[in-house]
């Protein structure tokens, strides 16, 4: 498939027409019984496995193009599929199929003084527009979540994945056809021109919500150009506050080292990876062990003057700790790489003030003081607040949702990981026996 052929979807079909088709498909999906949605997802998983060779060949084209364009190695790695990763994607689709279906859940009826019986029923949002970058697995993950929640979806991936996404869409369409379901339930915009994305953002009569997955620039572009409601998320500075009570026992210091390592190193490109470590002044004796461990894992450290005074010793430098002075900009940066900033605070009050200025995504306290933990949970206004656990747990799968479309950091409609339930809304159902309002 050539790039021209891959873009044929939107060369021959306008984004507006895709919206019209998605709206019609959404009307079919919203009334599907759970068993039929489950069968569709199992059919998608089977098609992914059956088409492995073709999908990997298409992905190899994307990889070759990315390397020719001299994209950074970490971005090329995000594009790459393998037999093992494709099997994992298929297994994830089956995992979504096993989740409880929220559509149709109805609250108990309440009888009002007029005699009408009132309840609320959970229903799909309708048509989703999801805009994302780099990772082709998102194409399948979002399609599965949309279908299981009864939503149609229009997907706009990055230009780096044009071949992979075209082939994945073919597999999904084949599965939907086999189940006698409309292929228009899942559509991919293959034309990478930004104008196509802008057209999607302005389909307010056909698309019910835009969900961007990417960097701050993408989110800002969507917010500034959309007439469709945008669910913003996935960006924000992640903090870990190390309280002095967590450094009194050598075993706790070692535990803090492990948690902070996991927070930064396990997947540094993830939105829930550590950006800024806040250290209570009384906990500073534990900082050398933490810094040495991070440095051993290739983390570039940027620290304030008080932390630098602790770290710039001959013994730590000999152990590989090469901390640099932090700037104000460092404390506002979501690094998405093996870089972390360190700041010393007097204690809880200063940590809370700092997080209030810089946080909204995931924030962690490491403490053995229950009162401090509760104060942190109560006062920190972020999508996820964690006590004595890595911020990497702010993930749909880890929090029991099975999977997620994105992590919302806004407060309207959904906040935190968006799973099946977050892709639905409710409508009022009123039953009467001929009542008229007086």
- For the segment 152-181, what is each residue's pLDDT rounded down to a tens digit? 999 999 999 999 999 999 999 999 999 999
Reference 244, options 391, 353, 109, 348; nearest CA is 348
Can you list the positions of beta strands (E) in 326-420? 339-345, 359-366, 384-387, 407-408, 416-417
Question: 22-32 pLDDT, tens per residue?
Answer: 999 999 999 99
Query: CA-based Rg of the chain, rounded to a whole angstrom?
Result: 24
Helical axes 137-148 vs 162-178, angle rounded to 10°: 30
Domain boundaries for CATH 3.40.605.10 within the chain: 3-231+418-431
Reference 405, options 173, 153, 162, 222; nearest CA is 153
Where, residue-wise, is CATH 3.40.309.10 in the chain?
237-393
H/E stretch holding 141 reads helix 137-148
Give residue 12's pLDDT.
Answer: 65
Q: How many of the other CB atoms lie within 10 Å of CB of 436?
A: 6
In 10 A of CB 36, how many CB atoms? 13
Q: Which two tokens stand for residue 255?
A: 């535990």
Cβ-in-10-Å burial (0-12, 13-18, 19+) of 49 comes to middle
13: Cβ–Cβ under 8 A, 6 or more apart, which residues? 21
Rounded (10°) CA dihedral 190, 73, 302, 264: 80
- Looking at domain 3-231+418-431, what is its CATH homologous superfamily? Aldehyde Dehydrogenase; Chain A, domain 1 (3.40.605.10)
Looking at domain 237-393, its CATH superfamily turns out to be Aldehyde Dehydrogenase; Chain A, domain 2 (3.40.309.10)
Low-confidence stretches of the chain (pLDDT < 50) are 1-4, 6-11
Alpha helices (runs of H) in 280-417, residue ranges in sequence order: 287-296, 305-311, 314-318, 348-358, 370-379
Return phi, psi of residue 239, to 5°: -115, 150
Which helix (H) or strand (E) segment holds residue 46: the answer is helix 34-50
Strands 359-366 and 416-417 turn out to be unpaired
- The pLDDT, as a whole number, for residue 3 is 42
DSSP 114: T
Tell me how far CA of residue 313 lies from CA of 309, 318, 319, 339, 415, in angstroms: 8, 8, 10, 20, 43
**What per-residue confidence (pLDDT) applies to 134?**
78
Sign of CA dihedral 11, 16, 20, 26: positive
pTM of the model: 0.87
Burial class (CB in 10 A: 0-12, 13-18, 19+), 197: buried
* Bridge partners, residue 303, by sequence: 325, 342
3-class secondary structure for 49-111? HHCHHHHHHHHHHHHHHHHHCCCCHHHHHHHCCCHHHHHHHHHHHHHHHCCCCCCCCECCCEE
């Amino acid at each position: 498939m050539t790039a021209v052929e891959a873009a044929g979807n939107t060369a021959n079909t306008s984004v507006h027409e895709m919206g019209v088709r998605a709206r019609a498909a959404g009307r079919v999906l919203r009334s599907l019984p759970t068993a039929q949605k489950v069968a569709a997802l199992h059919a998608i998983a089977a098609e992914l496995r059956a088409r492995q060779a073709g999908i990997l060949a298409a992905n190899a084209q994307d990889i070759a193009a990315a390397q020719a364009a001299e994209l950074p190695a970490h971005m090329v790695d995000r594009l790459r599929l393998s037999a093992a990763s494709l099997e994992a994607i298929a297994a994830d689709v089956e995992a979504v199929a096993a989740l409880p279906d929220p559509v149709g859940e109805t609250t108990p009826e309440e009888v009002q003084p007029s005699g009408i019986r009132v309840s609320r029923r959970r229903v799909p949002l309708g048509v989703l527009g999801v805009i994302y970058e780099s990772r082709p697995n998102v194409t399948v993950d979002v399609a599965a979540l949309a279908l299981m929640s009864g939503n149609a979806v229009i997907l706009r991936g990055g230009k780096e994945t044009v071949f992979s996404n075209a082939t994945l869409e073919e597999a999904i369409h084949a599965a939907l056809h086999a189940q006698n379901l409309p292929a228009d339930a899942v559509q991919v915009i293959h034309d990478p021109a930004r104008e196509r994305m802008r057209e999607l953002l302005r389909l307010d009569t056909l698309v019910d919500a835009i969900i961007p997955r990417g960097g701050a620039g993408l989110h800002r572009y969507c917010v500034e150009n959309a007439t469709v409601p945008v669910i913003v998320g996935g960006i924000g500075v992640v903090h870990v506050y190390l309280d002095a009570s967590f450094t009194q026992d050598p075993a706790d210091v070692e535990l803090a080292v492990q948690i902070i390592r996991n927070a930064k190193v396990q997947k540094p490109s993830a939105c829930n990876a550590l950006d800024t470590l806040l250290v209570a002044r009384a906990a500073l004796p534990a900082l050398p062990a933490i810094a040495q461990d991070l440095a051993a894992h290739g983390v570039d450290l940027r620290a304030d003057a008080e932390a630098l005074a602790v770290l710039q010793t001959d013994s730590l430098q000999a152990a590989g700790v090469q901390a640099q002075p932090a700037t104000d900009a460092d404390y506002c940066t979501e690094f998405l790489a093996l870089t972390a900033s360190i700041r010393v605070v007097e204690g809880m009050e200063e940590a809370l003030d700092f997080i209030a200025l810089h946080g909204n995504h995931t924030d962690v306290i490491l403490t053995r003081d229950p009162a401090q933990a509760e104060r942190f949970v109560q006062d920190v206004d972020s999508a996820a607040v964690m006590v004595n656990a890595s911020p990497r747990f702010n993930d749909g799968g880890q929090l029991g949702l099975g999977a997620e479309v994105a992590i919302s950091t806004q407060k309207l409609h959904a906040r935190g990981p968006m799973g099946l339930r977050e892709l639905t809304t409710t409508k009022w159902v009123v039953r009467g026996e001929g009542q008229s309002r007086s």
